[in-house]
Amino acid sequence: MRKTKIAITYEKGGVGKTTTAVNLAAILAEKGFRVLLVDLDPQSYATAYFDLYNDLLPSITGVMMGKNDVKEAIRPTRIENLDILPGSYDFKDIETYLMMKTRRQEYTLRETMTDVSDLYDFILMDCPPSGNRIKTNALAYADYVLLPTIPDDYAIHGLLCMANELVEIRQGVNPSLDVLGVLVTIYERTANKRAYTEALQGQDIFPCFHTLIRKNSALSAAINAHKPINLYARRSNGCTDYTALADEIIQRLEGGDTSGEN
């Protein structure tokens, strides 16, 4: 399978981006893939998740601003095969730095990652919600986007917003960026949620994963334990669903099937 860089993104918060990034990364690592999780969210939740938040050590900020080599900043997690490029408190400085940069600012992340891109089977990026320069950098570097979406009244509108954003990204910075899939998150078996989920699965804006991520309290509880779901509660629905997602992604990448059909 080709080495794959996936930006986990959506244009609002609270939809399960970080939960998806962390757990998918850990499950892919457990399957034997070499995985790097890049924390591009100013809140650094993915870094905190693995208990690796440390302002004294090099982070994504120093790397993107050219102060640190990327290899200095990447740290192992306690999970075999899973490394993290951590976030830090001064994250907002990246945005200012990118604003001042006159040449190729959209490719800053891609260029700083050159030495490590080939070391990993999967590079997963946990993106910030708003359409800022950091997110553009992630999309300029990624092969695919994965779009976690809550099945609600706003969902289809959200996908249309993302479609417009992706048109601009493809025209401007990354013509080969593709959509891996829309992922229904925090799903519940109520009539309402089912109807919105069917609408998401039936839309033809983007392919949609067959896997649904059910609402599961173990996923929230795992955060406090600083453990991904496969280590925190292996028999939970959350672990079952994220494992099914990992399998579906591998199948799509191996089969080249990103159409979401059949």
Q: Residue 18 or residue 61: which is nearer to ligand ADP going by CB?
A: 18
Decide: is 211 part of the binding site for ligand ADP (CB under 6 A).
no
Dist. CA 56–CA 77, nearest whole Å: 17
Q: Which of residues 42-71 bind ligand ADP (CB under 6 A)?
A: 45
Residue ranges with strand state E in 128-207: 144-149, 178-187
Sign of the torsion angle spanned by Cα atoms 97, 70, 169, 14: negative
**Least distance from ligand ADP to the Cβ atom of residue 140, Å:** 21
Decide: is 88 part of the binding site for ligand ADP (CB under 6 A).
no
CA-nearest of 99, 120, 103 to 111 is 103
Decide: is 170 part of the binding site for ligand ADP (CB under 6 A).
no
Strand-by-strand arrangement of the 75-76 sheet: 75-76, 82-85, 35-39, 122-126, 4-8, 144-149, 178-187, 208-214
- Which of Mg ion, ligand ADP, none does 172 bind, CB closer than 5 to 8 A by kind? none
Which span (68-76, 106-114, 133-141, 210-218) binds ligand ADP, by CB under 6 A? 210-218
**Least distance from Mg ion to the Cβ atom of residue 87, Å:** 10
CA-nearest of 5, 3, 79 to 40 is 5
Q: Residue 45 or residue 91: which is nearer to ligand ADP going by CB?
A: 45
Dist. CA 85–CA 20, nearest whole Å: 17
Dist. CA 172–CA 54, nearest whole Å: 35
By CB under 5 A, name the binding residues for Mg ion.
Answer: 17-18, 41
CA-nearest of 199, 193, 206, 194 to 163 is 206
Token pair 């699965």 is at which residue?
201
Residues in the chain: 262
Q: Which of 164, 220, 251, 259 binds ligand ADP (CB under 6 A)?
A: 220
Token pair 């993106």 is at which residue?
127
Q: Which of 123, 139, 219, 239 binds ligand ADP (CB under 6 A)?
A: 219
Decide: is 76 part of the binding site for ligand ADP (CB under 6 A).
no
- Which of Mg ion, ligand ADP, none does 215 bind, CB closer than 5 to 8 A by kind? ligand ADP
Q: Residue 17 or residue 133: which is nearer to Mg ion going by CB?
A: 17
Q: Which of 38, 63, 139, 186 binds ligand ADP (CB under 6 A)?
A: 186
Which span (96-104, 114-122, 137-145, 214-222) binds ligand ADP, by CB under 6 A? 214-222
Instruction: Please give the residue ranges that form the binding site for ligand ADP (CB under 6 A).
Output: 13-19, 45, 185-186, 213, 215-216, 219-220, 223
